[in-house]
Amino acid sequence: MFVKTSLPSIIPLFPLPNVVFFPKMPMPLHVFEPRYRKMTEDSLLGDRVIGMVLLKPGWEPDYEGRPPVYPVGCAGRIEQSERLADGRYNLVLRGTSRFRIDHEHAGSSYRRATVLALEDGVEARDQLDAMRQRVLAAIGQAADGPSALVLQDELPHDVLVNALAQTLALSPVERQSLLDCDSILARYRRLLEILDFLGLEQKLGHKKVVH
């Protein structure tokens, strides 16, 4: 089965070098560049949707232009907005759905693209329950893990795995690999792979899983 999503066919893109956004999650943003202030103004006057995408490595020389981005992103709806006196904005987005970029459009100061909404497959409850326990056990092995979140067993599977993917101390590329997963079970499995690898590194004394 799939979680049904709806998304405008053309949305603005907000590319950032270290942010990966997930469905149903909140995302606070501070918007200060002129082109993205314009994007925010237009979004607030329209459907209030912004598509967050991750810049690919090597973006620095062409940041003012249109450096390459990963093709899968997450759209969010503006839930809260505050326009500051100097024209900057403070926003809170709420993730609505993943998307894949089909093609970008020229003619605007900010990036806009035709996108295809992606639906998250949801597998059998017993499979998800078992994978949840394995993921939480892996996190629990970290002495300084996020215990308050781990204890919330009542969270729906999609909310829990997306919250972990967005809040654990993972690299942007690791987060992107989680966003790319096409089902909740696949996202759990990929997260467990990452946690197992980071746990091995922790045992070897190189780094911690979370901090």
Shared-domain flag, residues 110 and 147: no
Shared-domain flag, residues 95 and 174: no
CA distances from 159 to 25, 41, 120, 152 (A): 8, 29, 12, 11
Q: Could you tell me if 10 and 115 are in contact, meaning their C-beta atoms sit under 8 angstroms apart?
A: yes
Shared-domain flag, residues 20 and 107: yes
Full residue range of the structural domain in which residue 192 is found:
125-203
Lowest mean pLDDT among 79-88, 146-155, 201-210: 201-210
Pick from 93, 118, 143: which residue ends a domain?
118
Q: Is residue 26 part of a domain?
A: yes
Pick from 118, 138, 158: which residue ends a domain?
118
Q: What tokens were used for 183?
A: 């089902």
Say what angle helices 184-203 and 172-179 make with each other, to 10 degrees: 150
Please choose, from the candidates 95, 204, 73, 48, the residue with its C-alpha nearest in 3D space to the C-alpha of residue 40: 48
Shared-domain flag, residues 21 and 101: yes
CA distances from 28 to 80, 95, 180 (A): 9, 11, 22
CATH number reported for the structural domain that contains residue 94 in this entry: 2.30.130.40
Q: Total domain count for the chain?
A: 2
Q: How far apart are CA 135 and CA 201, in angstroms?
A: 17
Report pTM: 0.86
pLDDT single digits (tens) 95-144: 999 999 999 998 889 999 999 999 988 788 899 999 999 998 888 776 45
